[in-house]
Structure 1
Amino acid sequence: MSERILSFTDERYWDDKIATNAEQFHEADRLDMEAYKLIQDDRSPEAWARFTEAKAKADAKRAAAFQDWVRLKRMMTNEVSD
């Protein structure tokens, strides 16, 4: 099975794609942590507005990473079933 997956282009292809996707998830986590830091010591309406904007960016990044992961899984599954 792994031979079929790795035959897509070269043996590093899937590792590189998955590593790039993992970086997207890590970036989403980083953005999420930064968002929560905004309201850690400041609960003013302005801080909540900044938090809401920052959290939306983190959520969008996570959604994009998840969509990319689903796409990668489909590509890998299609490669194995061919």
Structure 2
Amino acid sequence: MNEHILKYGFGRSWDEEMANNAAMFREADLLDEAAYKIIETDMDNPEVWARFTEAKALADAKRSAAYQDWMRIKRSMSPSRKR
């Protein structure tokens, strides 16, 4: 099973797909951490909150993309999609 090439994975192996997806989730985590660091120093400044909101939206978008990628991988694993 680990050697199975995913039908919609453009020829990448299961391990490559999972590594790529894990990297996407890790990047989302790092972006989320960076967003919260913005408000650590000055929580009363509206400009700081604006920067936080923008950074948090970027992190959330990356996490959403990672989740969508995971769902694509999961769909490709379903018995009806296998070769």
The residue type paired with residue 6 of structure 1 is E
Is 1:20 the equivalent of 2:58?
Answer: no
Q: Output the TM-score relative to the length of structure 2.
A: 0.82
Q: Which structure has greater helix proportion?
A: 1
SS across alignment from 1:6:
coil
**Which digits, 9 at most, give the CA deviation of each residue in 1:13-57, with x for residues without a partner?**
000011000000000000000000000111110000000000000
Deviation at 1:8, TM superposition (A): 2.6
Is 1:47 the equivalent of 2:44?
Answer: no
Cα root mean square deviation, aligned: 1.7
What count of residue pairs does the alignment treat as equivalent?
75
Quote the Cα distance in structure 2 between the aligned partners of 1:68 and 1:14. 13
Deviation at 1:7, TM superposition (A): 3.5
Unaligned runs of 5+ in 1: none
Quote the Cα distance in structure 2 between the aligned partners of 1:7 and 1:52. 41
Partners of 2:25 and 2:63 within 8 A in 1? yes
Q: In percent, how many aligned pairs have the same letter? A: 56
Q: 1:6 aligns with which of 3, 18, 25?
A: 3
